[in-house]
Amino acid sequence: MTSPVVENPSVMLGVHGLNKVYTGRGEPVEAIADLSFEISAGELVCVVGPSGAGKTTLLRCLAGLLPATAGDVRLAGQAVSDPPTGMAVVFQEYGRSLFPWLTVAQNVELPLREKGLPKARRKELVRETLEAVGLGDATASYPWQLSGGMQQRVAIARAAAYEPQVLLMDEPFAAVDAQTRFDLEDLVRSLWSRLGVTVVFVTHDIDEAIYLGERVLVLSGRPTVLLEDVRVGLGDDRSQLETRATPEFTRLRTHVYELVQAAKRGARSVTDAHLTH
């Protein structure tokens, strides 16, 4: 074990010199060149980038599902090598991340059981979180009896009930329809502010990233570096209609959009990007 790096104690998730090279059959592929950033406790940070920017690779490294080739990921100062306690993940494939042989309530309860929570507390958490995501009366259903958006709500409830320090979300709304997506975005915001959890939200949707995040990390194309760490000054109270109509939102949207377009052309720094404003 390496000794914990001396870092700001408010840093919840620290990524230092992260590098990931896939060595399978054939040529090794460098997915992530060199990534460093820090996320403070209680922040909601979105990660965007062009498709194939290694977003999912980054998230899997953060989650401890994939070992880094070099550099490290630290959760509250502890190096992450396996999925750590205190971390939950919501995957894009809601239909495949819920156990189809368990009911909605059992799906939410299973991780709590593994955590060793007493039965009464488990029942309480299951009821509370399912009510919070608007599924208080679907507890006895099976996930496949629900619509896609509702299934993703179950996955979010499962993650929230787990009471993680860090919640990772991997393009969680990419496969739900647009209107459902707005509702789910607001759900994430409200859970985040209520639970005080640190959230890392990976998405390919620029508007979604700005609407949700306190910060937006814009990634370059492969092999990935950090193009820019964009601060989002949209305040705490956000609404789908008003926030998205503010000049600040439009400015950020243009800025991030140009960065992503530049990343697609191969830009590897903000100076490369030749922004128009």
Name the residue type at position 29.
Answer: V
Q: How far is CA 162 from the centre of its chain?
A: 16
Nearer to another protein among residue 85 and residue 190 (C-beta)? 85
In the sheet with 70-75, reading across from the earlier edge strand, the strands are 78-79, 70-75, 11-22, 29-40, 224-231, 215-219, 44-48, 198-202, 166-170, 87-90
Nearer to another protein among residue 73 and residue 256 (C-beta)? 73
Cβ atoms of 129 and 186 within 8 Å: the answer is: no
Cβ atoms of 12 and 165 within 8 Å: the answer is: yes
Task: Confirm or reject binding of residue 201 to another protein (CB under 8 A).
Answer: no
Residue from 226, 178, 179 nearest 45 by CA: 226
Number of residues that bind another protein (CB under 8 A): 28
Taking the complex as a whole, how short is the minimal distance between the CB of residue 148 and another protein, in angstroms?
A: 6
Nearer to another protein among residue 145 and residue 240 (C-beta)? 145
Task: Confirm or reject binding of residue 147 to another protein (CB under 8 A).
Answer: yes
Residues between 116 and 145 that touch another protein (CB under 8 A): 142, 144-145
Nearer to another protein among residue 66 and residue 275 (C-beta)? 66
Task: Confirm or reject binding of residue 63 to another protein (CB under 8 A).
Answer: yes
Pure H helices in 100-214: 104-115, 119-132, 148-161, 178-195, 206-212
Figure out which of the listed residues 22, 111, 243, 257 binds another protein, where binding follows CB under 8 A.
111
Per CB under 8 A, the segment of 47-55, 100-108, 229-237, 242-250 that binds another protein is 100-108
Residue from 1, 9, 34, 29 nearest 19 by CA: 34
Q: Which structure tokens are listed for 276?
A: 């128009």
Taking the complex as a whole, how short is the minimal distance between the CB of residue 147 and another protein, in angstroms?
A: 7
Per CB under 8 A, the segment of 21-29, 37-45, 108-116, 238-246 that binds another protein is 108-116
Nearer to another protein among residue 125 and residue 273 (C-beta)? 125
Name the residue with tokens 């999925």: 83
* Interacting residues with another protein (CB under 8 A): 63, 65, 82-83, 85, 87-89, 91, 93, 95-97, 99-102, 110-111, 113-115, 142, 144-145, 147-148, 162
